[in-house]
Structure 1
Amino acid sequence: MYKAIIVDDEAVVRVGLKNTINWQEHGFELTGDYANGRDAWEAIEQDKPDLVISDISMPFMDGLELAGLITASYPYIKVIILTGYDEFEYAQQALRLKVSDFVLKPITAREIRQLLDKVRSEMDEERQRREDLSRLQSQLKQSFPILKERFLERLVAVGLGRAEIEDRFAYFGLAPLAAGSVAVVADIDDFGDRELLSYEHDVEFLRFAAFDIFEEIAERDRTIVFRTREERMVAIITGEGDENDIYETAFRYAEEVRHHIEKFLSFTVTIGVGRIVQSAELLPGSYKGALSALDYRFLHGKNRVLSILDLEGQPEAASLPNLSWDRKLVSTVKTGSIREAQDLIEHGIAELKKSRVPIETCFLQMQKVVLSLMNAIQEVVPHDREGSIDSQMMLMEVYRFKTLDEIEAWLKQVVSAVMTEIADNRNHFTNTQIHRAIEYIETNYANDKMSLQELCRHVLMSSSYFSLVFKQNTGETFVEYLTGVRIAKAKELLQSTGMKFYEIAEQVGYADPNYFSILFKKRVGMTPKDYRDRLAKESGT
């Protein structure tokens, strides 16, 4: 029900309007009638009616002056002017004041009723629009986090132009990215051995708890985080420093997330780290690299931080875009077994047979598969080591076969050769990095500040993956190996020089002579003094 008032200095008009109109029937409650604009304005300020029906000519304050005050202070109040003055100047002024209607007296009760119905209809429409706008604004506010996540997902998965990125970053209140950025993607391995009483509810709660940790740790660095529709957690880490500093920040962040989720939630995540890109438009390349690193979970196990640089190194050329035939095949070629890859090939060929598509379509499909395999090779295998499989990768070779069964057998041979080459290259790359690490240790063992983090920065590997492959290759941890090198150098100095024990300790990287002596005895079975005495006795001097 809308509120209305009447303003007219003629009492007969006011009484007539009150008594001849059933106001409630037309959606209005008549809350007052006033003989001049001044009294009416006081009532308007206090009660704020929805409709004012006013004459023009009145004492103290006329109708147009009243309409001007209403328009200035309460523009949502409707004003209808009833007047006996048929002058264009009045009508013009009423239009300027945005009066809803300008009606000449005399006016019948029927015309008044029609006028009220018309005004009520307009007010209903306006109220509906306001309610719709309010509802939309409320919905937008509720949907804002989801809209932000979908934008960020498009940014890393599809790629966007600079103008749209700048516009959307400003809209969502995101700080612009610095010169270097890297994508970090976390995926829950499983939920451990816990019993979930209400599976769906508990799983969603655990995912929320994991993302809460992911988000909380991100707040310490310049990092944007969000979740994808595949329930992965993504961080975009950016910085102005050199690439080593950005990688170190990414690895530290990923390790801390992995550790806290395992410690506080009792389940594990595997985290992939992509390659650094120089602008927001290139983020899909880093995101793709992080997803590729996650694929290696099958090979290296769960609960790890895996960097695409550790696993595949820097690509020597831009890789081809992903093509459509089952991404699982390329993923399996890079991280799975030959048997699994062959099973996927058999499944793909069987699907082609079922589809009964023309032979040309089959040839095109096989060419796409070959292109995807070539893409995998370009990503993983250096150009100078691709020669052994070039003859099998000719795109036109598929056209020499007459049946899908022949193509299947040929494709299995190609995949087997590719997987062998990739495995050899991966071992070669890892062995090269470990060899560089060993050379660095043996060159810098005298530095008492040498640390695992320093060594990993030198070989550009994450500490988690380096520790894994270093022990696999040497049989020792980094600390054990470094201690072994230092003690071996100390034994040489004890045998070939007359240096004091504290001088030898300093020469091999130990600032504390007592700690050196303890480690030496633990490794050699005797103190440095006993060792030198034994050498002297054996030499007869």
Structure 2
Amino acid sequence: MYKVIIVDDEAVVRDGLKRTIDWNAHGFELIGDYANGREAWEAIELTLPDLVISDISMPFMDGLELAGAVADAYPYIKMIILTGFDEFEYAQQAIRLKVSDFVLKPITAHEIRDLLLKVKQEMDEETQSHEDLSRLYNQLKQSMPLLKERFLERLVVNGIRNSEMEERFAYFGIRPLTPPYLIMVADIDDFGIRQIRDNGHDTEILRYAAFNLLEEISLRENLMLFRTREERMVLIVTGESEESALYERAFRIAEEARHFIEKYLKFTVTIGVGQTCEMPEQLTLSYKSAISALDYRFLLGKNRVLSILDMEARPSFPDQPRADWDRKLASAVKTGSLQDIHQLIRELVIDLKKSLVPMDACLLQIQKVLLSLLNTIQELGLQDYRPILLTDVYRFKTLDEIEVWLIDTLTAVMTAIADNRNHFTLTQVRKAVDYIETNYADEKMSLQDICRHVLMSTSYFSLVFKQHTSETFVEYLTRTRMEKAKEMLQHTSLKFYEIAAKVGYGDPNYFSILFKKHAGITPREFRDNHAKESSQ
């Protein structure tokens, strides 16, 4: 069942479409109807419909403006334009915006049904093309050679010499990298409603289906894509001159990939976005930070885009690779899993006891653990936190005493990490609030502007902003503008259209509608009531 909304400023048209069309019978669920493009745009951002049927001539935002916004932000949403204007320039603009159909009014119910049938067939064919596992399995045999994938994996995991890099790039026909660049790592959460047979072939086909979808995006965006031995999918993102623009592009691509995989393949992935770097030999650092971002899936849940900038205030990277046990401990410390930490410490102590090595060797092993822990603390931006000294181990006489001390110490460390992370998140939210308070008069202010300002992905910012303010970005911005408008109505003699412009609304009628919705009365009634109260 595909989701559809109707946008037309004539109530009779909207009511007619709702009453005369059996939407469910045609494979659609009508989830809303709206009187202007601006209301529809806000609804689209929240509900992400599959199809929008819109008139052209509407107040506040017309149909072509709405189509342009949809095409830029959500290119997978289909648009049908209904219009009473038989002008060639409108049709030309609709074609440029990749509108699915441009239909002249009046249109009969029969014509609408035929139109819905046509659009549904197109949608079904697109879905089928992505779900055709037999076709995808045949394409699997013609995928990128294994040697090329292993080379790219070695490039980002271990690093290679510049001379070898240039030689291999030429051999595999890979274009030179243009800085800055960053790594994104996509990992399948699970296969959702898919039933996987015991032979494992379906698992491989579904993995390739996800890779094939990412490959379509990477070809369109001119990115580099490969798979690792752990069945993760890695994207090297380049093509921007500024770091902020590169992050913004990475977030957009990651959100699009996550949405498409869930929509067409019916399972989910989580994508970690790493730190930017300027030199090819630093790709290993960006890859490690992307993997670190993925580790937070345990804390925040599946089907997300997780950026290292969202997770850690001041990420840095150790010079030497850690052993597997140290990596697991670092991951447990980052995600705040006390149960995993207790288990890992217990395993370490048991192994040391079984090994029967001398006490000095045991203490040296514990000190290596402490050194790894100190690196993790620094990596998480707690450079001034120094509760641990390597010489502390000499205060104890048994491994059991050290075990208890390690658990207590790590509990204190995790408390400090949580406080630091909460402080950083709160700081970014306050920064966003300050930006709104300063720029509320900007009519074009958007969620993307805020996220670009605080360098956060839209999904994570929306989550933490609602947690800290109890309002969405749109709700907070609207309330701020209304409060500023009330102040002006009370303390100035500005005309209503002047006040509307000063709080970010170019259209005074739309301002009046929102004001009444917020305050329960019109701006004029609000000013008159205040004047009466002041005179008493």
Answer yes or no: same fold by TM over 0.5.
Answer: yes
Partner of 2:505: 510
Partner of 1:418: 413
Alpha-carbon distance between aligned partners in 2 of 1:298 and 1:234, rounded to the nearest angstrom = 20
Alpha-carbon distance between aligned partners in 1 of 2:242 and 2:170, rounded to the nearest angstrom = 26
Partner of 1:91: none
Q: In structure 2, which of residues 400, 403, 423 is the aligned counterpart of residue 428 of structure 1?
A: 423
Matching of residues 38-57 of structure 1 within 5 Å: none
Taking only the aligned residue pairs, the percentage that are identical comes to 62
Q: How much has 1:352 moved relative to structure 2?
A: 2.2
For the aligned residues, what is the CA RMSD? 1.8
CA contact (8 A) 1:159 1:284 kept: yes
Q: Does 1:496 align with 2:491?
A: yes
Alpha-carbon distance between aligned partners in 2 of 1:319 and 1:453, rounded to the nearest angstrom = 33
Partner of 1:368: 368
Partner of 2:230: 230
Give the aligned residue type for 1:322. P
CA contact (8 A) 2:187 2:271 kept: yes
CA contact (8 A) 1:177 1:279 kept: no
Alpha-carbon distance between aligned partners in 2 of 1:246 and 1:284, rounded to the nearest angstrom = 18
Q: How much has 1:144 moved relative to structure 2?
A: 6.1
Partner of 2:145: 145
CA contact (8 A) 1:185 1:235 kept: yes
Alpha-carbon distance between aligned partners in 2 of 1:361 and 1:154, rounded to the nearest angstrom = 34
Alpha-carbon distance between aligned partners in 2 of 1:356 and 1:143, rounded to the nearest angstrom = 51
Partner of 1:30: none
Q: How much has 1:357 moved relative to structure 2?
A: 3.0
Q: Does 1:442 align with 2:428?
A: no
Q: Which moved more, 1:292-301 or 1:394-403?
A: 394-403
TM-score by length of 1: 0.70
Q: Deviations over 1:391-449 (max 9, x none)?
A: 4x211222332221122111112211211111110001001111100000000000011
CA contact (8 A) 1:223 1:235 kept: yes
Paired residue secondary structure (2:225): strand
Q: How much has 1:279 moved relative to structure 2?
A: 1.1
Give the aligned residue type for 2:376. A
Partner of 2:318: 319
Alpha-carbon distance between aligned partners in 2 of 1:500 and 1:355, rounded to the nearest angstrom = 84
Alpha-carbon distance between aligned partners in 2 of 1:322 and 1:479, rounded to the nearest angstrom = 44
Partner of 1:530: 525
Partner of 1:403: 398
Paired residue secondary structure (1:383): coil
Paired residue secondary structure (1:269): strand
Q: Does 1:521 align with 2:516?
A: yes
Alpha-carbon distance between aligned partners in 1 of 2:490 and 2:365, rounded to the nearest angstrom = 70
Partner of 2:75: none
Alpha-carbon distance between aligned partners in 2 of 1:147 and 1:360, rounded to the nearest angstrom = 45
Q: In structure 1, which of residues 451, 456, 459 is the aligned counterpart of residue 451 of structure 2?
A: 456
Partner of 2:103: none
Paired residue secondary structure (2:276): coil
CA contact (8 A) 1:381 1:421 kept: no
CA contact (8 A) 1:322 1:372 kept: no
Paired residue secondary structure (2:173): coil
CA 1:198 to 1:178, structure 2 compared with 1: closer, same or farther past 3 Å? same
Q: Which moved more, 1:402-411 or 1:466-475?
A: 402-411
Q: How much has 1:241 moved relative to structure 2?
A: 1.0
Gaps of at least 5 residues in structure 1 are 1-140
Q: How much has 1:178 moved relative to structure 2?
A: 0.6
Q: How much has 1:340 moved relative to structure 2?
A: 2.6
TM-score by length of 2: 0.71
Give the aligned residue type for 1:350. I
Alpha-carbon distance between aligned partners in 1 of 2:179 and 2:192, rounded to the nearest angstrom = 39
CA contact (8 A) 2:382 2:417 kept: no
Give the aligned residue type for 2:509. N
Q: Which moved more, 1:423-432 or 1:203-212?
A: 203-212
Structure having the higher Rg:
1
Matching of residues 122-521 of structure 1 within 5 Å: 145-198=145-198, 200-315=200-315, 319-324=318-323, 325-384=325-384, 386=385, 390-391=386-387, 393-521=388-516
Paired residue secondary structure (2:369): helix
Q: Does 1:539 align with 2:534?
A: yes
Alpha-carbon distance between aligned partners in 1 of 2:159 and 2:172, rounded to the nearest angstrom = 17
CA contact (8 A) 1:319 1:378 kept: no
Give the aligned residue type for 1:314. R
Q: How much has 1:193 moved relative to structure 2?
A: 3.0
Alpha-carbon distance between aligned partners in 2 of 1:481 and 1:234, rounded to the nearest angstrom = 37
Partner of 2:47: none
Q: How much has 1:510 moved relative to structure 2?
A: 1.0
Matching of residues 82-121 of structure 1 within 5 Å: none
Partner of 2:131: none
Gaps of at least 5 residues in structure 2 are 1-140
Q: Deviations over 1:18-55 (max 9, x none)?
A: xxxxxxxxxxxxxxxxxxxxxxxxxxxxxxxxxxxxxx
Q: How much has 1:298 moved relative to structure 2?
A: 1.2
Q: How much has 1:274 moved relative to structure 2?
A: 0.5
Q: Which moved more, 1:506-515 or 1:429-438?
A: 506-515
Q: How much has 1:240 moved relative to structure 2?
A: 4.2
CA contact (8 A) 2:272 2:291 kept: yes
Alpha-carbon distance between aligned partners in 2 of 1:258 and 1:144, rounded to the nearest angstrom = 22
Q: How much has 1:159 moved relative to structure 2?
A: 0.9
Q: Deviations over 1:353-395 (max 9, x none)?
A: 22333333322221221111111111113434x1xxx24x211
Alpha-carbon distance between aligned partners in 2 of 1:193 and 1:473, rounded to the nearest angstrom = 34
Alpha-carbon distance between aligned partners in 2 of 1:199 and 1:431, rounded to the nearest angstrom = 49
Q: Deviations over 1:472-517 (max 9, x none)?
A: 1101111111111111101111111121211111100111222211
Alpha-carbon distance between aligned partners in 2 of 1:152 and 1:167, rounded to the nearest angstrom = 13
Give the aligned residue type for 2:436. I
Alpha-carbon distance between aligned partners in 2 of 1:157 and 1:399, rounded to the nearest angstrom = 37
